[in-house]
Structure 1
Amino acid sequence: MKQFIFLLAFVCLLSCNDDDNDYEIVIVAVPEMMSKTEFRKSVEVQAAKPSITAGKIYAYGDFIFISEAFKGIHVIDNSNPTAPQPAAYLKIPGNEDISIKNNYLYADSATDLVVFDISDIANVQVVDRLEDVFSVYDYRIPSEAEYADFGNYDFDNNVVISWQIVQERREIVDNSRLMLNDAAFSGSGEGSGVGVGGSLARFQINDAYLYTVGSSELSIFNISNLANPTFESTQYSGWNIETMFYADNYLYLGGTNGMYIYSLENPAVPEYVSEFVHWEGCDPVVVDGNYAYLTLRGGNACGQLESVLEVIDIADKTNPTLVARHVLDNPYGLGFKGNNLFICDGTSGLKVFDKTNPLSLQQTQTFSDIHAIDVIPLKNSLLMIGENALYQYDYNNEALNLISTYALN
C-alpha cells in the first residue's frame, strides 16, 4: 500500500513540474452520435409546437416554414396574415434547408435528402428518402467551442445529433487537433409552383432541378418526378459556401471569402463563370438585374471586424466589380422588391434603402427595436424573421407598415 501511495505521489510530482507554458485550457466540442439506422427512423410529422428557436424561413402558398436548426421545421398557417397560427411540426434531425415545388417538400437530413408530400398539411407524408447523397453536411459546432474533437467519430455509420462542451488541458501542438474553422462532417418563385426562401438559403429550384450547396459541394438533383427525385452529381462549389441565390439562369454562391457565379445554360452541369473576392466575412447575396448586393458580417467566427453592404456590378458575369460599399453594424439577410432593398442589420434592426441608383443607396426607413435575421419579400407583403418573432409588413405607399407579430417563444 505504501508503495502505491509513493507511486501516486511521484506521478503527481512529475505532472506538477510540467512547464505550464507548453499547455493551455481549451473549450472543446465533442460530438454526440446516433447510428444512421436509428437516425433514419427518427423523421416524424408531429403536432405543432408552441416554442420556436428561430432559424431560416420559407414561404409557400398560405404557409410559412420556420426551421429550427438541425431539429426540424415549424409549419405556420398564414392564410390570415394578421393572425398566423401554428399548423404542424416536421421532425427532421440534421435539417438545415428546404425547398418546395408543387406540394413536394425537399429537406436535407444530415447525409440524406428527404421528400414530403405536403398537399394536405393535416396529413403530411414522407414519400422518399435518398440516402448518403451529401458527403459533407453542416452540423453547426457551438459558437463557444474553440475546437472540435472527432477522435471517436465513425463517419461511415454515425451522424452528429448534438454536442457536449468540455474544457481540456492540452499540450500546445498545432497539428494535434482540428481547428473549429476547418471542421467538416463527411460520410460514405412565388407564383410558379415553387416556394420562396430567404437570402440565407442553400437550396434552390429551377425548372426540373434542385440545387443544394454545402461548405464546398454543389449537389444537383433531377426532380422531373417530384415524388421520386434522382441524384445526378456533385461538384466543387467554392470555399466555405454559406448561401445560394438564383437569378436569370445563374446561381450566385455566397462564401466567406467571395461570391461565386455559375451558369445554368446546361442545368444538369452548372458551369463556373467567375468569382468576386472579398475579405473574410459571413456573406449572403441577392441579385437584381446587373447588380448583386451582399452583406459581410464581421466579428466572431465571421472574420474581419468591419461589417458592410457591398454593391457589385455583374453586367459582365466574367468580371464582377465592386462599385459601392456601405458600413453597417452586424448584417445578416437581405432582400429586395422594386426599388426597395431590405437589410436585416442584426441588433440594429431592419433597414430599408432606396436602390433606384445602386451606386448611391438612400436609407428611407429603420425599425430599430427588433433583432432582424432574414427577410422574404413577397408580392403583397414582407416576411421578416427576428430572434424572438416573425414579423409581417405591407408595402403601403412604398413604406412598410406592420401587419402582425407572431411570437416564436
Structure 2
Amino acid sequence: MKLKYLFLPLVLLVFCSCDTDGSDYEIVQVATPQIISKTDFRKSVEIKPARQIEEAGKIYAYQDYIFIGDLAGIHIIDNSQPEQPTAVSFIEIPKNQDVSVKDNYLYADSATDLLVFDISNINKVTEVERLEDVFDFYDFEIPIEADDVDFQSFDFQNSIIVGWTVASERRKIDDPILFADGVFDGAGNVMNSGESVVGMGGSLARFQIVEHHLYAVGSHKMTIFNIAHLEAPVLEHSQYVGWNIETMFQADQYLYLGSTNGMFIYTLDNPLVPEFVSEFIHWEGCDPVVVDGNYAYLTLRGGNPCGQLESVLEVVDISDKSNPTLAGRYSLENPYGLGVKGNTLYVCDGTAGLKLFNTVDPRDIKLLKTLKDIQSKDVIPLQNSLLMIGNQALYQYEYLENDLRLISTFAF
C-alpha cells in the first residue's frame, strides 16, 4: 500500500514535467460509448405490463389504439373510449424510433433490426419476425456536452451503443478530433385499400406504409420492404436519398422527406425504387413536413443544434412537383410537428402552445387561435378527433368551427 501511494506523486511529476506552461494543451469532454453485444441486445425485447411513460416520443394511431414511443419501447393505449383512455401494456424495444401498423401487424425498428409483432389480440402481443442488420443507421444520441467522441473500442459489426460515459481528458490542442455524426451509418385519415387498414403517424415519423411496401428513412438512406406477406417482410432495396433526413410524409403516391436544410420529393411510380423529383432548399433547421393538395407545410425550428436561430412556418407550392416554390413564411417560437385537416392547419409551437391556422387561401394563411399553457410536440388529425402529444400528456380534442374542445387528457 505504501509503495502505491509513493508511486503516484512520481507519476504526476513525470507527467507534468512534459509540459511546464500548459500552452499546448486543453481539457476536452470526451464521450465513450457504452456497448452491448448484438446477441444480448436482441434478447431484450419483452411484452410487459403497462407502466408510467418516462419521456413521450412519437405517436401513432391504429383503429381504437394509440401507440406512444418512449425511451425504451412503445406504450399501447386503449382509446375505444376517448374520454377515458387506458394503458394496456408496454412493448420493451431497445433503441426504437418508429412504428407503423397494417392489418394487425406492427412494424418497429430496434437499432439495426426490423421487428414484426402480431397485435390481433392486443392483450397478448407476440413477436413474429426479426430482420437483422437491415438498417445501417440508428440514432445513438451523442451527449450534447461532449467535445469529442472516442469510438476506438467499438465494434460496429457486432455491438450496439446503448449509452455514454463522458470524462475530461487533457489533450494537445492540435490532436485530431474523433467526433462523428449522431446518426449511425399520414396524410388525412386512416387509409383503406380493399380490406386493409393502415394506421396513421404524426409529422415526425420516419416510417410510411404505402400499399404493399414499408418505407423507412434514416439520416441519408431509404430502406424499402415488401410487406405483401405481413408477418414476413422482405428487404427489397435501399438507396441514398439526401442528407440529414429527419422525417417522411406520404401523399398521393409521393414521399416528402424533411431534412435539416430542405424538403426532398420522391415519386412512387416505381414503388420498389422511389425516384427523386426535386428539392426545396431552405436554411438549416429541424424540419417536419405535411402535405395537403398542392401545398406543403414545413416548420423550421431554430435555436438548437439544427442550425439557425429563427423559427418559422413555411408554405410551399408543390403544384409543379419538379419546381416547388415558397408561397409564404410565418414567424413561430419553437415549432415541432404539425398536421392538417380540412381548412385548418394545426402547428405544435412547443412551449408557445398549439396554433390553429385557416388555410382556405394557402398563400395567405390566418392565425385562428392559440391554445396556450400547454407544451405541444406533435399532432395526428384523425377523422373525428385531434390527437396531440405534449409535455407529460396525451391530449384529445373534438373539432369545432375554428376551434377545438378538449375531450380528455391522459397524463403520464
Report the 3-state secondary structure (helix = DSSP H, G, I; strand = E; otherwise coil) of the residue aligned with 1:123: coil
Shift in alpha-carbon separation, 1:280–1:9, aligned structure 2, 3 A? closer
Distance 1:32 1:9 in 2: 29
The equivalent of 2:157 in structure 1 is: 156
The equivalent of 1:178 in structure 2 is: 179
**Structure 1 position 146, deviation (Å):** 3.6
The equivalent of 1:362 in structure 2 is: 366
Report the 3-state secondary structure (helix = DSSP H, G, I; strand = E; otherwise coil) of the residue aligned with 2:203: coil
The equivalent of 2:37 in structure 1 is: 35
Deviation by residue 1:283-303 (Cα, 9 ceiling, x = unmatched): 000011111100000112110
Report the 3-state secondary structure (helix = DSSP H, G, I; strand = E; otherwise coil) of the residue aligned with 1:38: helix
Q: Which letter does structure 2 place at the counterpart of 1:44?
A: E
Q: Report if the CA contact (8 A) 1:372-1:385 is conserved.
A: yes
Q: Report if the CA contact (8 A) 1:52-1:74 is conserved.
A: no
**Structure 1 position 183, deviation (Å):** 3.5
Q: Report if the CA contact (8 A) 1:351-1:366 is conserved.
A: yes
The equivalent of 1:282 in structure 2 is: 286
Query: Does the alignment pair 1:87 with 2:88?
Result: yes
**Structure 1 position 185, deviation (Å):** 2.1
Deviation by residue 1:176-200 (Cα, 9 ceiling, x = unmatched): 3214xx23324xx515200000000
Q: Which letter does structure 1 place at the counterpart of 2:174?
A: V
Report the 3-state secondary structure (helix = DSSP H, G, I; strand = E; otherwise coil) of the residue aligned with 1:341: strand
**Within-5 A mapping of 1:181-260:** 182-186=181-185, 189-192=189-192, 193-260=197-264
**Within-5 A mapping of 1:303-314:** 303-314=307-318
Report the 3-state secondary structure (helix = DSSP H, G, I; strand = E; otherwise coil) of the residue aligned with 1:403: strand
When structure 1 is superposed on structure 2, of 36-45 and 11-20 the one drifting more is 11-20
Q: Which letter does structure 1 place at the counterpart of 2:262?
A: G
Q: Report if the CA contact (8 A) 1:28-1:168 is conserved.
A: yes
The equivalent of 1:17 in structure 2 is: 20
Q: Report if the CA contact (8 A) 2:368-2:402 is conserved.
A: no
**Structure 1 position 222, deviation (Å):** 0.2
The equivalent of 2:303 in structure 1 is: 299
Q: Report if the CA contact (8 A) 1:35-1:159 is conserved.
A: yes
Distance 1:219 1:295 in 2: 25
**Structure 1 position 17, deviation (Å):** 1.5
| Structural RMSD (CA) | 1.8
Shift in alpha-carbon separation, 1:112–1:13, aligned structure 2, 3 A? closer
Query: Does the alignment pair 1:334 with 2:338?
Result: yes
**Structure 1 position 202, deviation (Å):** 0.0
Q: TM-score, normalised by structure 1?
A: 0.94
Shift in alpha-carbon separation, 1:168–1:368, aligned structure 2, 3 A? farther
Report the 3-state secondary structure (helix = DSSP H, G, I; strand = E; otherwise coil) of the residue aligned with 2:130: strand
Shift in alpha-carbon separation, 1:230–1:338, aligned structure 2, 3 A? same
**Structure 1 position 125, deviation (Å):** 0.6
Distance 2:301 2:39 in 1: 38
Query: Does the alignment pair 1:61 with 2:63?
Result: yes
When structure 1 is superposed on structure 2, of 206-215 and 358-367 the one drifting more is 358-367
Q: Which letter does structure 1 place at the counterpart of 2:20?
A: N
Shift in alpha-carbon separation, 1:284–1:6, aligned structure 2, 3 A? closer
What is the count of residue pairs matched by the alignment?
402
Deviation by residue 1:368-400 (Cα, 9 ceiling, x = unmatched): 201110000000000000021111100023410
The equivalent of 1:378 in structure 2 is: 382
Distance 1:293 1:207 in 2: 24
Taking only the aligned residue pairs, the percentage that are identical comes to 59
Q: Report if the CA contact (8 A) 1:50-1:86 is conserved.
A: no
Q: TM-score, normalised by structure 2?
A: 0.94
Distance 1:269 1:142 in 2: 36
When structure 1 is superposed on structure 2, of 28-37 and 371-380 the one drifting more is 28-37
Unpaired runs of 5+ in structure 2? none
